[in-house]
Structure 1
Amino acid sequence: MKIVLIGASGTVGSAIVQELGQRHDIIAVGRNSGQHQVDITRSDSIRALFERIGKVDAIVSAAGGLHFGPLSEMTAEQFKIGLHDKLLGQVDLALIGQHYLNEGGSITLTSGIVSAEPIRYGANASAVNSAIDGFVHGAAVELQGRRINAVSPSVLRESWGSYGPYFLGFEAVPAQRVALAYSRSVEGAQTGRVFQVW
């Protein structure tokens, strides 16, 4: 399969490359690195990416920024960081990308555990991840001959040093285990699923 992977150089993205790259042709894409670059907050950048790479069998997104901070100090502009980047960026990737997806192809987005298990300072992340899960459920009903899923990981073991204080009491998961969920989404038959790696 020809798979375009957004966020290929990140911790999760690198694990996905290691897992799926054994069996498929991975087109590595990043904001500033990879074979191609894209800014998922801009529709024109997403369209230009697909015009360059053409039709694909799978679109995988392991990208998207969020805002973490106390609700009492949060501004609308800070909240919009997650809305414009992780949520609308991935939604736009799916809306545009569906037209470049081969028959039987799939789209895999990334949400996260705080959609179901909120944390302090994570209101933006909870809202965004919940919306991504909801979009996948709704979009799966309409994607004819194609599939869409999301992977919802817990905090990564590799990222515990940075994010551990937000996730006390949570079990960290290795990126390699998270990558297996992307494999299930891309290489499996299910659609409208949120693969939880908790």
Structure 2
Amino acid sequence: MSGNFEGKKVIVAGGSTGVGLAAARQLQDAKAQVTITGRSKEKLQQAAAALPGINTAAVDSGDRAALDQFFQEHGPFDHLVVTLSGGKGAGQFSTLPLQDLQEGFEGKFWPQLNTIQAALPHINKAGSITIVTAVSSILGLPGTSGLAAINGSLELMIPAIAKEIQPVRINAVSPGVIDTPWWDFLPTADKKAAFDSYAAQTPAGRVGKPEEVADGILFLARNNFVTGTVVRVDGGLSL
């Protein structure tokens, strides 16, 4: 049986840009009551301007006390989407500063777990949690061992958590290379070259769009018979 989102309260952690913003837009279009969180007040303001009627809250998901307070004040809700991500952890292992890898965990792994734990007492039993990982967890490409550690660790936890928190459901969406602001650390020409290279390796023949990952998020949140699962939205890059 599949549910709908009309009147449902949904929180999108890290929803001010990229995949999170695309998911918030689709959830709002589906008549959900959506609240997006993020650290940057400026980005939240921009998101609110792009999505009139959206609720925003400045919350640092690395601050457990702030998360506990936010969920306590927000009250019971139906679905949680966690799109929090950091920008560190990539690079050849032989030269990868382990401090960068630690900061990569602190930017994604720990904030995602803190958000889930803080949310659990407040999520409705018929609700769901959907996190966003990355296909680097299984690709085995040179330069991605650190990213594999971060995203793979999250994915490995999903089945066990699903059994522990039932009947609340938890799943993950694992994107491939997606054209989002995450890639803006690269100069324009370098980003285009990287996208062209990944597109050539991808059966779909291109990099993905945030809206395509958001489609996967909404599927997992809507379908009441899916839990403990990782859905890959990667254009076939992992094949």
| TM norm structure 1 | 0.92
Match of 2:73 in 1: 52
| Deviation (angstroms), 1:63 | 1.1
User: Is 1:191 matched up with 2:224?
Assistant: no
| Deviation (angstroms), 1:69 | 2.3
User: Is 1:110 matched up with 2:145?
Assistant: no
Check 1:107–1:155 CA distance in 2 against 1; reply closer, same or farther (3 A cut): same
Q: Which runs of 5+ in 1 are unaligned?
A: none
Match of 2:91 in 1: 69
The higher radius of gyration belongs to 2
CA distance, structure 2, for counterparts of residue 116 and residue 72 of structure 1: 19
CA distance, structure 2, for counterparts of residue 89 and residue 163 of structure 1: 30
- On the 8 A contact 1:181/1:195 being kept in 2, the answer is yes
Code of the aligned partner of 2:76? K
- Using the aligned pairs only, state the percent identity: 24
Match of 1:154 in 2: 176
Q: Which of residues 28, 35, 40 in structure 2 aligns to 1:32?
A: 40
Aligned length: 198
| Deviation (angstroms), 1:140 | 0.4
| TM norm structure 2 | 0.77
Q: Deviations over 1:57-79 (max 9, x none)?
A: 01111112132223222233211
3-state SS in 1 of match to 2:130: strand
Code of the aligned partner of 1:181? G
| Deviation (angstroms), 1:163 | 8.1
Code of the aligned partner of 2:79? A
CA distance, structure 2, for counterparts of residue 117 and residue 10 of structure 1: 25
3-state SS in 2 of match to 1:109: strand
- In the TM superposition, structure 1's runs of 4+ consecutive aligned residues that sit over 4 Å from their partners are 158-161
3-state SS in 2 of match to 1:97: helix
Q: Which moved more, 1:147-156 or 1:94-103?
A: 94-103
CA distance, structure 1, for counterparts of residue 174 and residue 97 of structure 2: 26
Q: Which runs of 5+ in 2 are unaligned?
A: 1-7, 45-55, 235-239
| Deviation (angstroms), 1:42 | 2.0
Q: Which moved more, 1:137-146 or 1:163-172?
A: 163-172
Q: Deviations over 1:66-109 (max 9, x none)?
A: 32223222233211112222112111211121111012111111
Q: Which moved more, 1:32-41 or 1:109-118?
A: 32-41
Name the Cα RMSD after superposition.
Answer: 1.9
Q: Which of residues 11, 18, 26 in structure 2 aligns to 1:19?
A: 26
What is the 5 A alignment of 1:85-124?
85-124=107-146
